Amino acid sequence: MSPLLIPLAENPLLPAPLEIIMAVIFALLLWFLIAKYVVPGFEKTYAERTEAIQGGIEKAERAQAEAQAALEQYRAQLAESRSEAARIREDAKTQGTQILAEMREQAQAEADRIRTQSQAQLAAERTQVMTQLRNEIGGLATTLAGRIVGESLDDDERARRTVDRFIADLESDETTSTSGEPSTAGLS
């Protein structure tokens, strides 16, 4: 017999009508169960993942914005610190210059004081030496004059005038020799 002539009920390739109905019911039931329970779980998981990803992205953006703000704040503080350090250096330099100037002034004042004190001491010593020399030269001159003249010059007033005249002659010789003019005191 030919395969086309076999009745539908006897066709081994076609399922029984009850099986077709059961398969359709089972497919609908399976579709309903998947749509009712599985798909919402997938949707929920998908939504949670989407939300987590979005939340992570937003968190990352917030963290990046906070990091950027912190970086800007750090840069501002760094610039402020640098300007403060420059100001402190300038203040220190100014104070150093001021201290140096004060120290120079103090050193100059001390040098002037020492110079003045030394000059006063030298003047006192010179006066003392001149007095000693006057006394010694006076004594020697009086003795020598007494020997030359042949009479004693024990009169203090006369001896003092003679010594004063002699010293005045010596001082005038000294001033003319320092000024470059020849001395004529010994010629007169």
Rounded to the nearest angstrom, the gap between the alpha carbon of residue 63 and the centroid of all alpha carbons in its chain is: 37
pLDDT score recorded for residue 168: 82
Residue 179 lies in a domain: no
pLDDT score recorded for residue 150: 65
Residue 7 lies in a domain: no
Whether 1 shows a pLDDT value over 90: the answer reads no
95-117 burial by CB neighbour count: b if 16+ within 10 A, else e?
eeeeeeeeeeeeeeeeeeeeeee
Instruction: Evaluate whether 153 touches 166 at the Cβ level (below 8 Å).
Output: no
Q: Residue 109 and residue 105: Cα distance in Å, rounded?
A: 6
CA distances from 48 to 35, 93, 162 (A): 19, 65, 133
Residue 1 lies in a domain: no
Q: Name the amino acid, one letter, at 8.
A: L
Residue 188 lies in a domain: no
pLDDT score recorded for residue 187: 44
Domain span at 36: 18-174
Instruction: Evaluate whether 60 touches 68 at the Cβ level (below 8 Å).
Output: no
Q: What is the percentage of the chain residues whose pLDDT exceeds 70?
A: 84
Whether 41 shows a pLDDT value over 80: the answer reads yes
Count the Cβ atoms, other than its own, within 10 Å of residue 134. Answer: 16
Whether 182 shows a pLDDT value over 60: the answer reads no
The pLDDT tens digits of the residues spanning 96-149 come to: 999 999 999 999 999 999 999 999 999 999 889 888 887 787 777 777 777 777
pLDDT score recorded for residue 9: 54
Residue 40 lies in a domain: yes
The pLDDT tens digits of the residues spanning 83-110 come to: 999 999 999 999 999 999 999 999 999 9
Q: Which span out of 68-72, 150-154, 179-183 was modeled with the highest average pLDDT?
A: 68-72
- Tell me the CB-side half-sphere exposure of residue 20, using CA atoms within 13 A: 5
pLDDT score recorded for residue 12: 75
pLDDT score recorded for residue 109: 94
Whether 179 shows a pLDDT value over 80: the answer reads no
Instruction: Evaluate whether 145 touches 164 at the Cβ level (below 8 Å).
Output: no
Q: Residue 13 and residue 19: Cα distance in Å, rounded?
A: 13
Residue 112 lies in a domain: yes
Q: Residue 100 and residue 110: Cα distance in Å, rounded?
A: 15
**Could you give the number of structural domains in the chain?**
1
Residue 184 lies in a domain: no
pLDDT score recorded for residue 43: 92
How many helices (H) and strands (E) would you count in the chain?
A: 3, 0
pLDDT score recorded for residue 181: 54
pLDDT score recorded for residue 166: 76
Q: Residue 74 and residue 68: Cα distance in Å, rounded?
A: 10
